[in-house]
Amino acid sequence: MDKEDVRILLPYDVQPLFDDIVDQRVLGASNHIAMIGEMIESITLDGKKNNSEIKNIIERIQVVTNYFVKTRGEASQAISNAILLMTNHLEQLVDSTLDEAVDEIINRKNSYLDYNNSATEKVIDYASIVVENMKTIMVYDYSSTVDKLLKKIGGSEHQYIIYIPESRIIDGGVPYVKTCKEAGHAIRFFPDAAIMYYSKECDVALMGAETFFPDGTGFNTTGSDLVGLACDYYKIPLYFLTPLIKLDIRPIYGYKKELVINDLETKLIEEWQDKSLAENINFKAPELLGVEPKHIRGFITEKGVIPAEQMFNVSLEYYKELGGAI
């Protein structure tokens, strides 16, 4: 469905959340999952207030969530996984009373978010141990999980220097600046074209994962592959901070990920005085790229720090724990 047809299904109070995701004003898969959860609850409570049929409430939720599966979920498997776990088998509630159905829908959403928040806190705890004796940290590109780590390690006995390459794809470096200032970190802010130059000054590089494969490939904003190459060249450890919910299990069944390609014309020509120069130019670029396992020291997850080459067994065990639900 067209985004406006989806947006109008949402109560007025959560329409700005929809816009923030679609227009990339808020970044980070974990942030988006929480915002989609708010939309699910708002639709549900709106249906209760208006004494709507349960079937109608469920259909509204499914249309909105399926829109995000087909858009954000194409790039980030975490979005699809989370939506599935929050909304799986809602159609079974059609024979319940309205109060029972509303309570169950909201409880399912809350149960997932509580589970994910707990997992994320464990990731941050493990990551803070990894970096406690380091001084210079490169972070690329924006991740709400990495952002929470930067807040946690603020006020440490020694001041961290945070190196932030700014990505022109989504301007994902600038959201870190406020966090780093409030946390008391020193900041080095530079264009992503200087990644190779500055990476050699860093003790460690950290990324969030939009998605990861069982073979230990991590996906993040375009430019992440350059960070991986630079870290490998200078022998700097690169860690992905991610709850295991971001697993994409499909490659073990032969699935090949199709890259999401964005048209960046509006963004890239914003400062051009003569906009006519853009005519007949291709401005398309991938949204995410994979970093090969050989460039990644490890994945920091709720189960600990896992070397990239050991992610396969961890992924399969996690998939079994979820009962094959993702």
Count of CB atoms situated within 10 Å of the CB of 154: 16
Under 8 Å between Cβ of 305 and 298: yes
Count of CB atoms situated within 10 Å of the CB of 17: 20
Q: Report pLDDT for 44.
A: 97
Q: Report pLDDT for 169.
A: 74
Q: Report pLDDT for 257.
A: 84
Tens digits of pLDDT across the chain (326 residues): 789 999 999 999 999 999 999 988 888 888 899 999 999 999 999 999 999 999 999 999 999 999 999 988 877 888 988 998 899 889 999 999 999 999 999 999 999 999 989 999 999 999 999 999 999 999 998 899 999 999 999 976 778 999 999 877 777 788 899 999 999 999 999 999 999 999 999 999 999 998 999 999 999 999 999 999 999 999 999 999 999 999 999 999 998 888 889 899 988 898 899 999 999 999 999 988 999 999 999 999 999 999 999 999 999 999 988 877 77
CA angle 267, 268, 273 (to 5 degrees): 105
Mention every residue, 6+ apart, whose C-beta is less than 8 A from residue 326: 80, 81, 84, 85, 245, 247, 249, 319
Q: Report pLDDT for 76.
A: 80
Q: Report pLDDT for 259.
A: 86
CA distance linking residue 229 with residue 53, whole number of Å: 54
* Residue in 238, 210, 239, 204 with CA at minimum distance from that of residue 222: 210
Distances (CA, A) of 141 to 26, 52, 61, 153, 159: 13, 42, 30, 18, 21
CA distance linking residue 307 with residue 296, whole number of Å: 8
The strand pair at 204-208 and 238-241 is best described as parallel
**What would the 3-class secondary structure string for the chain be?**
CCHHHHHCCCCHHHHHHHHHHHCCCCCCHHHHHHHHHHHHHHHHHHHHHCCCCHHHHHHHHHHHHHHHHHCHHHHCHHHHHHHHHHHCCHHHHCCCCHHHHHHHHHHHHHHHHHHHHHHHHHHHHHHHHHHCCCCEEEECCCCHHHHHHHHHCCCCCCCCEEEEEECCCCCCCHHHHHHHHHHCCEEEEEEHHHHHHHHCCCCEEEEECCEECCCCCEEEECCHHHHHHHHHHHCCCEEEECCHHHECCHHHHCCCCCCCEEECHHHHCCCCCCHHHHCCCCCEEECEEEECHHHCCEEEECCEEEEHHHHHHHHHHHHHHCCCCC
